[in-house]
Amino acid sequence: MKLSASQAAIGAWLLCTAAGAGAADTGTVYRCPGPPILYTDQITAAQAKERGCRTIEGAPITIVSPPKPRPVAARASEGRVEPGEQRARNSDARKILEGELQREEAKLAELQKSYNNGEPERQGDERNFQKYQERSAAMKAAIERSQSDIAALKRELAKLPAPKE
């Protein structure tokens, strides 16, 4: 049976605590190897030698506790926005998205015009038919990407509340 690191740590701590219950407190701290590394002052010198522990002279163990999280209610109230400010934010977001949508639709129209229904005009450096096909495929991919972007912008606009006049 394989133990997790936390189970092994608890087991090692219990073992050291049980083994050192009768040991006199010498003030010597031992660092015992193995995953996880164990620091203890609850074992005798003989037990420490048997386990391969090293002494740490005059080094008290310091336990640092993590900072306590703030209550949830306090965090929720910090994130509140006044209704007027939220309407202004929504209005700004709508303007930005509508501007992006217009630019993307113009870009799509230009791409579709140059794509010419799957038969774009050949350029001077495309004597090789393979180059022409690669450019056509790249144009088609750009059109599909643009259509996908337009759909995403429309979904984002639909999520925003309707503007109040």
Q: What is the DSSP letter of 17?
A: H
pLDDT in tens, 119-158: 888 777 777 888 888 889 999 999 999 999 999 999 999 9
pLDDT in tens, 49-103: 888 988 877 666 666 778 888 776 655 556 788 888 999 999 999 999 999 999 9
The two counts, helices (H) then strands (E), for the chain are: 5, 3
Kindly indicate the confidence band of residue 40, based on its pLDDT and cuts at 50, 70 and 90.
confident
Enumerate the domain spans of the chain: 5-56, 83-159
- The model scores a pTM over 0.75: no
pLDDT in the model for residue 24: 42
Please report, for residues 63, 71, 136, the alpha-carbon distance to residue 116 in angstroms, rounded to integers and kept in the order given.
Answer: 71, 61, 10
Q: 151-156: long-range contacts at Cβ-Cβ below 8 A with a sequence spacing of 24 or more?
A: 153/97, 153/100, 153/101, 153/104, 154/101, 156/97
pLDDT in tens, 93-129: 999 999 999 999 999 999 999 998 888 887 777 778 8
Kindly indicate the confidence band of residue 23, based on its pLDDT and cuts at 50, 70 and 90.
very low
